[in-house]
Amino acid sequence: MFLVANWKMNMTRSLIDGYLDVLAGRPMSGLLERKRLSVALAAPHIYLDYVNREVHRRKLPVQIVAQDVSTRTSGAFTGEVGVPNLLDIGIKGSLIGHSERRRFFRETDEDVVAKTGLCLNGGVVPIICFGESRPDRENGVTLETLRSQLEPVCEEIVRAREEGIYTPFYLAYEPVWAIGSGVNAGLSDIQEVVTFVCEAFPWPDPPNCLYGGSVGLENIRELASSEFLSGFLVGSSWLDPNGLLNSAELLPQTERTAQEGVRFK
């Protein structure tokens, strides 16, 4: 399974040091190997290089990914960070289309497709977030929303494969109403969505799907019992490194190989 801690707009260098010290203080490699887990930390852009260096220095078995990437490659786009910038500092993965980007920064489905394409072309593993809002769910249009988010993404991945580009990708189902709310989606809802997503589009390779939205110690074990999930994308409860490690401890030992986290470094 693939565990991604999304730090969002949190952390400082001293908090990062403390976080990594906690990870380094526990026998992490054995735990990850035993449970067949890969771990990534999604850090704010400004800390990516720092966290990456510190992780290497401490020989921690974790990967560092970005939380977003630009729809452009380079040029006069003040404040943006492009795929080449990520690659330049050794970052090989990025969240794409997080609902907070869609909601607060008006990111569109077209932007998500453009970012996905640039990541695939550049060899940066996109972790493509999708999910319905509460009104979508209440109005019974969940699957329509997911279709409009993912159909063009799938087309972009097919395009890349046809061009001989085999960068792996992840999908992350994050229902907007479950994020930071303390209420996670139920197993049957997750199963319905993941089954729909896998069957409704002609993915060139079977998608590995993560779940995010109020995952914590109290529910991760049950959620992990779903055969449909390849991992978790977690905000609040993994801002604490012990939350991340204790969650990993709770996960069942698995023989699953096809869906375990792809190492992209």
215 binds ligand 13P (CB under 6 A): yes
Is 45 an annotated catalytic residue? Answer: no
Closer Cβ to ligand 13P, 35 or 98, answer by number: 98
Is 98 an annotated catalytic residue? Answer: yes
**Which one among 39, 119, 210, 233 touches ligand 13P, defined by CB under 6 A?**
233
236 binds ligand 13P (CB under 6 A): yes
**Which one among 208, 214, 230, 259 touches ligand 13P, defined by CB under 6 A?**
214
**Which one among 180, 186, 202, 206 touches ligand 13P, defined by CB under 6 A?**
180
CB of 19 to ligand 13P, least distance (A): 16
212 binds ligand 13P (CB under 6 A): yes
Closer Cβ to ligand 13P, 160 or 251, answer by number: 251
Spell out the SS3 assignment of the chain: CEEEEECCCCCCHHHHHHHHHHHHCCCHHHHHHHHCCEEEEECCHHHHHHHHHHHHHCCCCEEEEECCCCCCCCCCCCCCCCHHHHHHCCCCEEEECCHHHHHHCCCCHHHHHHHHHHHHHHCCEEEEEECCCHHHHHCCCHHHHHHHHHHHHHHHHHHHHHCCCCCCCEEEECCHHHCCCCCCCCHHHHHHHHHHHHHHCCCCCCCEEEECCCCCCCCHHHHHCCCCCCEEEECHHHCCHHHHHHHHHHCCCCCCCCCCCCCCC
234 binds ligand 13P (CB under 6 A): yes
CB under 6 A: which stretch of 16-24, 43-51, 162-170, 228-236 binds ligand 13P?
Answer: 228-236
Give, as ranges, the residues between 29 and 88 that touch ligand 13P (CB under 6 A).
none
Q: Which residues pair with 126 in a beta bridge?
A: 94
CB of 216 to ligand 13P, least distance (A): 7
Q: Which of 98, 100, 132, 260 is catalytic?
A: 98
235 binds ligand 13P (CB under 6 A): yes
8 Å CB contact between 16 and 51: yes
Residues interacting with ligand 13P, by CB under 6 A? 6, 98, 174, 179-180, 212-215, 233-237
Q: Catalytic residue numbers?
A: 98, 174
